[in-house]
Chains A and B, each alone.
Chain A
Amino acid sequence: MKPNRRVLLETAEWGAVLVLSGLFLYAGVMKLLDTGQFYRDIQSYRLTPDVLSWWAAHYLPWLELVAGVALFLPKFRLPAALIFAGLMSVFTLALLSAWSRGLDISCGCFGSSTAEANYPWLVVRDLGLLLMALFLVWRQIPPGTCFFSRRW
């Protein structure tokens, strides 16, 4: 493999680690500062019962914080990237569901935000973050492990 390409991919990997970690650590802290507001934001999607929304509002911020820190640890980078990929898939599907039902929501992405839902932008942003997480997963799979693993 050409050295330039290897450096480029390693730089992109670290860039993805910094962006994902930074975003999720910030999002987790903001949600913990106002869990009640995050609970109401989850409710506004009208996808889950109130009790489940309440429990999710308490669990998700801690998950984001723990996975955000774990992303910096080589041994935990693959599981953390898988968790981020799973989270972004769920968030994107929830957004698409709310958009298709015409709901007027605050996205709840960063805790007590007063921003109204700009659906196209939010979906594009979440898909971008999902691709970033999938790129990290791909980079962590050891070479030759499976069809999707990298070759170098």
Chain B
Amino acid sequence: MRVILFPFLGLLLLPLFMALGHLSYSGWNPPTTAALSENDVRLLKVQQALWVDAREESLFQKTHVPGAVNLNRKNWEQSLPALFEHYEEGRTIIVYCSVGCNESHVIAAKIRELGLEDVQVFEGGYEAWRVSRSSKAGELRRDGEGLKANSNFESRNPKQIPNLKSNETK
């Protein structure tokens, strides 16, 4: 037993020392990407955000958040110019994909590597955004002037936001 124990421990410990050296270079803690909840999306001035759809092009073609740019790892080179075409200084970029999908985090990290800092991930994905548009929860519509809310959801008038919070707690 001792014959294999020391070589076995050696094979486990040697990479550990190498990993510690690697971690001292790249950082002991992981980088973080801010994640948005559905409530955050409701309360944010979403008409100013640039939505990025990280799903496959076929899904994007079927339906997507109005005004969204389709950008994923497959079409990264072709679609990147479209991102910069729609981007303005100070505009929040919100990346989404499907529920259970990690591609939104990957694309958000890649966009941040380009130097654009205000990048958020909408965790609920397109499905949650679609639910937020249902008649029960209120409706977010996009017209030529930007996203517009009615009744319980969100208004461009900031004074109505406290009412939204109290409605949600009922």
1/0 per residue, CB under 8 A from A, across B103-136: the answer is 1011001000000000000000000000000000
- Tell me whether A55 and B19 are in contact in the complex, defined as CB-CB below 8 angstroms, given that A36-B31, A114-B74 are known contacts: yes
**CB-contacts of A40-79 with B (<8 A):** 40-41, 43-44, 50-51, 53-55, 58-59, 62-63, 65-67, 70, 75-76, 78-79
**Cβ contact of B15, chosen from A59, A75, A114, cutoff 8 A:** A59
Interface of B is mostly: helix
B144 an interface residue at 8 Å Cβ cutoff?
Answer: no
* Chain B residues, Cβ within 8 Å of A62: 14-16, 18-19, 22
Most chain A Cβ neighbours within 10 Å, of B18, B102, B109: B102
Give me the 8 closest cross-chain CB pairs, A-B, nearest first: A44-B102, A62-B15, A54-B30, A79-B8, A59-B19, A63-B15, A62-B18, A104-B101
* Cross-chain pairs A/B with CB under 8 angstroms, 6 sampled: A44-B102, A54-B30, A66-B14, A66-B18, A80-B11, A104-B98
Interface residues, chain A, CB within 8 Å of chain B? 32, 35-37, 39-41, 43-44, 50-51, 53-55, 58-59, 62-63, 65-67, 70, 75-76, 78-80, 82-83, 101-106, 114
